[in-house]
């Protein structure tokens, strides 16, 4: 099942946001030609060497792509890039430094003159206008600018998210906007320009804390792994030293929690805890009551009571435990992809299709497809050798 088969994406990308977007397009069958700097490539290739010698971020976001090395500042390389876009591309994606793509003649305004159906997706930290347009942006900086860090962590220590969520958010909106633009073009024949801002993508995800603090109201407090505005909802220690994560959403669950888990039915009628706002206000008192009960139970016994009362709960899994998660195993969510260091496991794209499976091809080595792509453009081995000698490819 490859609904984007026949669509070609040419991408000048690095790091996470654009590669994550284009990898998902590749999952759906699109041909993705990734332009990389000769000898160096996408700088995410050098982030670490944790996947048997290659970088974890790169393996995650670059399967099923073709790697073409071009020094896009070299005149001959620019000619090659222009030919590929003119002859092959349906979509051009870029997340270069602010203004770099336009200086290379890769703006929508320029490309659409020769190819009105082209879709150009620019991904940047702050968007293509406004006072922050030229400001450099990295994931942690955008997490800070969007207010995420201010509401995450403990009371004493603001914290970032573990994964690069600003990049991921921007990549997801680039992916969905490109899909919408392809549908629009199918209906009208028109291409278009997509301007994706990391700041706007992550600010959208900040909708709840923004509305919670509307009109100058206090924002949600930083409460570690506990929920800031619903209680009890978070981690609680059991008597065996293990932690149980649990969450309540309504008064029916609160009553069941008191009666069947804490085995203190009188708490359900205690006016101090008669609503979620009251429980949040007295979270320290309530925490002590819950821990007092849990202290005589193992984590397994606590979970047994929670399950019997139909109270949501979870295990705080390590990465090793996620790799072996029984639910992911039972649903057969793990596949494998090839890399230059052999086969590695890969999670299937979220979603389950009744017809066929997503594309899960190899993670490319740097410049792996340069020869083949140049050959399709009519370049001879001698011409390729000359380009290589000049440092163009």
Q: What is the CATH number of the domain that holds 284?
A: 3.30.1540.10
Point out the residues of the chain with pLDDT beneath 50. none
**Beta-carbon-side half-sphere exposure of residue 285 (alpha carbons within 13 Å):** 9
Q: What is the CATH number of the domain that holds 189?
A: 3.40.50.10540
Range of the domain at 241: 233-315
In a domain, 339, yes or no: yes
Q: What are residue 82's phi and psi, to 5 degrees? A: -65, -40
Long-range residue pairs from 181-188, CB within 8 A, at least 24 positions apart, any chain:
181/91, 181/119, 181/121, 182/4, 182/7, 182/90, 182/91, 182/119, 185/117, 185/119
In a domain, 35, yes or no: yes
Residues 6+ apart with CB under 8 A from 23: 32, 60, 61, 62, 63, 64, 65
**Over the stretch 337-380, which tens digit does the pLDDT of each residue have?**
999 999 999 999 998 778 888 999 999 999 999 999 999 999 98
In a domain, 193, yes or no: yes
Are 187 and 264 in the same domain?
Answer: no
Domain boundary among the residues 258, 283, 315 is at 315
Are 172 and 66 in the same domain?
Answer: yes
In a domain, 221, yes or no: no
* Catalytic residue status for 227: yes
Q: How high is the pLDDT of residue 185? A: 97
In a domain, 3, yes or no: no
Q: How high is the pLDDT of residue 357? A: 85
Q: Specify whether the CB–CB gap between 334 and 328 falls below 8 A.
A: yes
Q: How high is the pLDDT of residue 355? A: 81
Are 47 and 174 in the same domain?
Answer: yes
Cα 286 to Cα 323: distance, rounded to the nearest angstrom: 35
Are 335 and 284 in the same domain?
Answer: no
Please tell me the total count of domains within the chain.
2
Q: How high is the pLDDT of residue 356? A: 81
pTM recorded for the entire structure: 0.92
Are 130 and 254 in the same domain?
Answer: no
Nearest to 374 by CA among 80, 82, 73: 80
| Upstream peptide bond of 339 is cis (omega within 30 degrees of 0) | no
Q: Can you read off the two tokens belonging to residue 80?
A: 């090659």
Are 123 and 197 in the same domain?
Answer: yes
Q: Put the strands of the sheet holding 192-197 in their side by side order.
A: 65-69, 31-36, 8-12, 91-94, 119-124, 192-197
Q: Can you read off the two tokens belonging to residue 109?
A: 């305004």
In a domain, 320, yes or no: no
Domain boundary among the residues 254, 287, 315 is at 315
Regarding beta strands 243-247 and 91-94, do their DSSP bridges make them parallel or antiparallel, or are they unpaired? unpaired
Are 342 and 300 in the same domain?
Answer: no
Residue 179: exposed, middle, or buried by beta-carbon count in 10 A (0-12, 13-18, 19+)?
Answer: middle
**Over the stretch 240-269, which tens digit does the pLDDT of each residue have?**
999 999 999 999 999 999 999 999 999 999
Q: How high is the pLDDT of residue 1? A: 72
Q: Specify whether the CB–CB gap between 23 and 59 falls below 8 A.
A: no
In a domain, 372, yes or no: yes
Are 55 and 117 in the same domain?
Answer: yes
In a domain, 103, yes or no: yes
Q: How high is the pLDDT of residue 369? A: 96
Are 165 and 246 in the same domain?
Answer: no
Are 270 and 367 in the same domain?
Answer: no
The active-site residue out of 74, 184, 193, 227 is 227
**Alpha carbon of 281 to those of 151, 161, 230: distances in Å?**
17, 26, 10
Are 55 and 186 in the same domain?
Answer: yes
Domain boundary among the residues 315, 349, 368 is at 315
Are 88 and 200 in the same domain?
Answer: yes
């Amino acid at each position: 099942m490859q609904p984007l088969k026949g669509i070609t994406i040419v991408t000048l990308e690095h790091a996470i946001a654009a590669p994550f977007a284009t990898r998902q397009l590749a999952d759906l069958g699109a041909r993705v030609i990734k332009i990389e700097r000769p000898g160096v490539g996408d700088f995410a290739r050098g982030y670490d060497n944790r996947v048997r010698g290659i970088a974890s971020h790169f393996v995650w976001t670059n399967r099923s792509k073709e790697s073409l090395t071009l020094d896009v500042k070299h005149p001959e390389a620019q000619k090659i890039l222009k030919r590929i876009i003119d002859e092959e591309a349906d979509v051009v994606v870029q997340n270069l430094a602010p203004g770099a793509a336009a200086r290379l003649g890769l703006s929508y305004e320029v490309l659409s003159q020769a190819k009105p159906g082209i879709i150009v997706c620019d991904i940047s930290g702050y968007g293509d206008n406004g006072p922050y347009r030229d400001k450099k942006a990295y994931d942690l900086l955008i997490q800070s600018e969007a207010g995420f860090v201010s509401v995450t962590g403990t009371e004493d220590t603001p914290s970032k998210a573990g994964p690069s969520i600003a990049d991921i958010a921007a990549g997801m909106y680039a992916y969905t906007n490109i899909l919408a633009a392809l549908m629009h073009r199918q209906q009208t024949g028109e291409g278009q320009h997509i301007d994706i801002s990391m700041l706007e993508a992550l600010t959208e995800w900040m909708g709840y804390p923004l509305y919670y603090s509307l009109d100058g109201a206090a924002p949600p407090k930083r409460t570690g792994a506990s929920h800031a505005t619903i209680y009890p909802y978070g981690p609680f220690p059991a008597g065996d030293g293990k932690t149980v994560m649990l969450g309540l959403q309504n008064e029916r669950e609160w009553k069941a929690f008191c009666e069947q888990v804490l085995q203190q039915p009188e708490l359900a009628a205690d006016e101090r805890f008669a609503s979620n706002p009251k429980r949040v206000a007295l979270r320290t008192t309530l925490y002590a009551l819950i821990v007092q009960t849990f202290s005589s139970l193992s984590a397994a016994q606590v979970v047994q009571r929670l399950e019997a009362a139909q109270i949501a709960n979870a295990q705080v899994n390590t990465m090793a435990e996620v790799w072996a998660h029984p639910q992911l195993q039972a649903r057969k969510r793990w596949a494998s992809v090839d890399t230059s260091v052999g086969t590695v496991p890969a999670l299937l794209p979220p979603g389950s299709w009744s017809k066929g499976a997503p594309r899960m091809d190899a993670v490319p080595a740097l410049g792996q497809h340069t020869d083949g792509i140049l050959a399709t453009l009519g370049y001879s081995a001698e011409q390729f050798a000359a380009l290589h000698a000049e440092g163009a490819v």
